[in-house]
Amino acid sequence: MFLPRGVLSAFGFAILFHAQVFADNTVTIGVYYETLNPNCSEFFINQLLPAYTRAPGRINVTLVPFGKTVVNSTVPLTFICEHGEKECEGLKIHSCAIALVQDQISLLWLAECTIRNQTLPGARLIECATRLGIEWRPIADCAKTTNGSQLLKVNGDKTKELNPKLKNVPTITLNGTADGVLHE
């Protein structure tokens, strides 16, 4: 029996992923993204969070918010974000949340909720964090300080280390390797 190439490829990837998860018991997924990119939002809402909630003990997620952002100046540390200042604010909020929210499922729910609507990133943080029972004030305070900028720069350094280099967002890595990197 012959299967169409697309079906065979999808089935093959599912088998490889399944084997990897059960062989090592966990898989680490790196997500390199931007907060105002519609492909990133769709990935979080329709793929990442649903997959994680099905196997939370078998998937470790490393979020790296930065994308195609550019460090504009190092003194003071400023950025040019692909989708403007609101995205820079959202990226700092996500960077601070990653540093401050220790529970991975809470972090992923917060990231998914805030990425749905970033027109007012600070207000969205308050709304989502309050609904999820997460203290929003430390995240908001961090995002407004040089600490938020430093955390975002660290994410930029991680993004620059990707090989092959980031071309599209989201970019997904599997177990820290860029071999077979998935680009949305």
- Whether this model's pTM surpasses 0.95: no
Q: What is the pLDDT of residue 154?
A: 98
pLDDT grade, residue 22 (50/70/90)? low
Quote the mean pLDDT of the chain: 86
C-alpha 116: how far from its chain's center?
A: 13
The two three-digit tokens of residue 151, written as one number: 């955390």
The pLDDT of 38-60, averaged and rounded, is 93
Comparing 106 with 117, the larger pLDDT belongs to 106
Q: What is the pLDDT of residue 7?
A: 34
Do the beta carbons of residue 98 and residue 151 sit within 8 Å?
yes
Q: What's the rounded Cα separation, in Å, for the pair 131 and 128?
A: 5
The pLDDT of 62-89, averaged and rounded, is 95
Do the beta carbons of residue 9 and residue 80 sit within 8 Å?
no
CATH fold, domain 26-179, is: Glutaredoxin (3.40.30)
Q: 31 CB contacts (<8 Å, ≥6 apart)?
A: 43, 48, 61, 62, 63, 64, 170, 171, 172
